[in-house]
Structure 1
């Protein structure tokens, strides 16, 4: 890694397309992506993306049109992302773990002009033109290159889909200006010409909102293998000489158990990142010793991909107990039910203001108005407070959503699917803390016939057939009746207490 390499941070570039073209001139031979043996330089990335863009244009993609990308992580995804940008289009990723209802909901809400899918994917709902992955190899070598579109900083650049309180996807929209401003919040997780290991799905904010960051620094993004394994991760860390290593606590835990870790040369790692679930202090300390570099924690959300983070030098206790301090250019405040600020140190609902914040939800003015509360502030779904050192301590969520392995899960949509089963009289789903993965789902089920109740596997299979597989509950508890509050609503708090007492959820 060359610390004196000139990044493109301060160049006057209106759009991500302009940034890509500048990178092609500045460091054409620098690797942009590594996906196993598949490697592509910045020069090749731009060249192939312009050729694919020409084919996209022939299929109806115009400036402002949405291109949905439903592909596995890798070079093909990156080329399609850049092709959409170079045409002045809006790139939008689709998580491949989503269920059919969610997938169709995104297609309908987006009004996309084009969708790129895996070869074995079912035919998408009527609407956009379809390109299969097997077609991309030919398109990347097409004889014609598209003419790059001259866009504006306030043009929409990407849409990142996230679940709403009803569980159906909503699309957080970001302009080119948003992407540019997010770079200022990077801190130690970006460096000139660094080699960065990415373990997040490309459809998530960790990739979709970080494109400007990667290109401005000329970084190489090394794609984690699928399926993931500790052996493959260690091999990549060593062979690719990774500088910035990102992984979830589960992955770090498994890496620590690898017999070859102690003898591996990891001297090139400058920082490790953990996210999606709390990392116990002992894990933070063990990983830091093992890789010879600090491990830091990040807190963000789809609508504001950079919010807080711990700092290099923070203790393991701070890394576990808090999510750090606001990033550069990010403001937080903590509000009561009347949206007045709570006293210093008190728990309140977190609101965030940042130039990297979403401009709103695509084609959803009602949800946008609920979230964006004026003067540049957005109301999050989290409660928290500041400690005496200015670190944010999360205290809970404003709704019943829980996070399993980094994925947001809203019980109401899971309950609706389970409730369709003929042998289920009623059901309530709650999240409960679990080691490493953060939280798991527990379904409390009242069976139609107590002598013939549904099995956990049957319930999980039903949910998986309609929704993303990670939304399937991890445990099922059969009960005679759901507890209710004095207002005759299901008493979720009572169920959470009961779920927390289950033996299998304990660490």
Structure 2
């Protein structure tokens, strides 16, 4: 049962109801402003009025290119309130990427100061701030009432294997997130939100925020353990999502007896947290970590529970969340037996309605009866937990055997010399493809190929052990904060070509170091 009472036709109506019911509670806390639900509602009215004054009609698309902030939230709610369709543009994207999203979405206006040569009406950052400060000056004249099945938001995929696609959701789909969140949402939570607002983690979860009366706390940039620790305490944060290395830094920063008494749960974002890290965060910080499996096309799929052991939190992504179904199928769409790797498909109210203005891509990803083909591979444990083995495109074939990089990465992540790791397959003579491991060393440690291969062989088949090691200072990330595997493959291929030109055996186990600051390659062995 959510905090917000009643049933509401669209997100704008839900926000108005929240303002009336608990309007004096914080909705947003960012480094520059604090916004209550009533203030958010009034500012959304002002923004809706400004959009209508510029000629925005029902169903027009507005693109938000603002940093993660209360200002982004006002533009988002204001756009939906006047019946527009809202899309977010990640501020890390380049001019050509921004122009591509604007063209594909058909956006009528861009809110923000992003660089692009696309011919489009703009509301720059300064004007956006003035509108936000106008409060309810435009009253309710700009309020429109879109239907539950009308398009509401478009969320863009990372586009690492081609042009990004826009997953679109109607108002009913946004509401569904509030009923699938499970342990992640509780009445009047205060949630630390460190992911970009253009990401599905925000764009598809705003109704969830409104329904539970949640305050979103935006940390200052650049990130630091000290500032995060202060924020967790001062703002009484109850839910926090950090990447594993950030949790490590929080442990290094210092931990007493429950140093964050309001923090009831945390998640490890973008990468699995090792069992040792899960245990340390639970015992030293007093915070249970859980795992969520989601994607742009379905922001709720599976999750673990706080009382499940660290082994489950590390090796699985849990069971289906409320209202979601899951199945593992073969290449012909037939369900495979428990324990057998296959294609992961999901169905439920949280799944996108399709790709924006792309019927062909929609038909490829959604079956006629509503199952989403995720593109991920995995299998189910006897107790129904989902174990991911990677993206279908990430799998490589070594000497006729399938190797799933995520399976290898989870083993390598438990090696004491490794802080972060990613594995990619690259072409090789005779055996087809081999695995290349990219490892970020643990502080004061130096991983070697020999020790990592032995570690993998102790747990998995010997052909799954990587045959090259490239030590890096950090793993490259996409604008969606996922490991950029395409970039790693390019680095590995370049390194292989360099070795071949130097008459080194291309398939012999090798140990190299890439200095990420200059992207140069230094051969160590």
Q: Secondary structure at the match of 1:478?
A: helix
Q: CA deviation at 1:374?
A: 1.9
Q: CA deviation at 1:166?
A: 4.0
1:122 maps to 115
1:308 maps to 302
Q: 1:395 aligns with which of 389, 401, 413?
A: 389
Q: CA deviation at 1:131?
A: 0.9
Q: CA deviation at 1:397?
A: 1.4
Work out which structure has the larger RCO, using CA pairs closer than 8 Å and 6 or more positions apart in sequence. Answer: 1
Q: Distance in 1 between matches of 2:482 and 2:118?
A: 20
| CA 498–241 in structure 1, closer or farther in 2 if over 3 Å, else same | farther
| CA 18–165 in structure 1, closer or farther in 2 if over 3 Å, else same | same
Q: Distance in 2 between matches of 1:245 and 1:138?
A: 31
The TM-score, its normalising length taken from structure 1, stands at 0.80
Moved over 3 A (4+): 163-166, 400-404, 428-437, 466-483, 497-505
Written as runs of structure 1 = structure 2, the 5 A alignment for 1:12-23 is 12-23=7-18
Q: CA deviation at 1:272?
A: 1.0
The TM-score, its normalising length taken from structure 2, stands at 0.77
Q: 1:325 aligns with which of 319, 322, 328?
A: 319
2:212 equivalent to 1:220: no
2:167 equivalent to 1:172: yes
1:368-398 Cα distance to aligned partner (Å, 9 max, x none)? 0100012110111111001111110011211
1:445 maps to none
Q: Distance in 2 between matches of 1:271 and 1:348?
A: 31
2:51 equivalent to 1:59: no
Q: Distance in 2 between matches of 1:209 and 1:432?
A: 34
Q: Distance in 1 between matches of 2:313 and 2:377?
A: 18
1:394-445 Cα distance to aligned partner (Å, 9 max, x none)? 11211149999xxxx9x9xxxxxxxxxxxxxxxx9998564599xxxxxxxx
| CA 225–431 in structure 1, closer or farther in 2 if over 3 Å, else same | farther
Q: 1:141 aligns with which of 112, 133, 136?
A: 133
- Decide whether the 8 Å contact of 1:101 with 1:467 is kept in 2: no
Q: 1:362 aligns with which of 350, 356, 359?
A: 356
| CA 176–318 in structure 1, closer or farther in 2 if over 3 Å, else same | same
- Which runs of 5 or more structure 2 residues have no equivalent in the other structure? 396-404, 410-421, 425-432, 443-471, 516-525
- Decide whether the 8 Å contact of 1:385 with 1:393 is kept in 2: yes
1:184-238 Cα distance to aligned partner (Å, 9 max, x none)? 2101111111111111110001100000100000110101221111111101101
- Decide whether the 8 Å contact of 1:238 with 1:264 is kept in 2: no
| CA 431–185 in structure 1, closer or farther in 2 if over 3 Å, else same | farther
Q: 1:103 aligns with which of 98, 102, 110?
A: 98
Q: Distance in 2 between matches of 1:499 and 1:308?
A: 38
- Decide whether the 8 Å contact of 2:2 with 2:211 is kept in 1: no
- Which runs of 5 or more structure 1 residues have no equivalent in the other structure? 412-427, 438-456, 484-493
| CA 71–386 in structure 1, closer or farther in 2 if over 3 Å, else same | same
- Across the aligned residues of Structure 1 and Structure 2, the Cα RMSD in angstroms comes to 3.4
Q: Distance in 2 between matches of 1:59 and 1:431?
A: 53
Q: CA deviation at 1:469?
A: 12
Q: Distance in 2 between matches of 1:499 and 1:98?
A: 37
Which moves more between the two structures, 20-29 or 178-187?
Answer: 178-187
Q: Secondary structure at the match of 1:140?
A: helix
- Decide whether the 8 Å contact of 1:102 with 1:467 is kept in 2: no
| CA 500–201 in structure 1, closer or farther in 2 if over 3 Å, else same | farther
Q: Distance in 2 between matches of 1:468 and 1:243?
A: 23
Q: Distance in 2 between matches of 1:434 and 1:136?
A: 43
In the alignment of these two chains, the number of paired residues is: 443
Q: 2:487 aligns with which of 469, 473, 478?
A: 473
2:23 equivalent to 1:28: yes
Q: 2:380 aligns with which of 383, 386, 390?
A: 386
Q: Distance in 2 between matches of 1:262 and 1:59?
A: 54
| CA 267–301 in structure 1, closer or farther in 2 if over 3 Å, else same | same
| CA 482–435 in structure 1, closer or farther in 2 if over 3 Å, else same | closer
2:452 maps to none
Which moves more between the two structures, 348-357 or 159-168?
Answer: 159-168
Q: CA deviation at 1:125?
A: 0.8
Q: Distance in 2 between matches of 1:372 and 1:77?
A: 30
Q: Distance in 1 between matches of 2:201 and 2:434?
A: 28
Q: CA deviation at 1:246?
A: 1.3
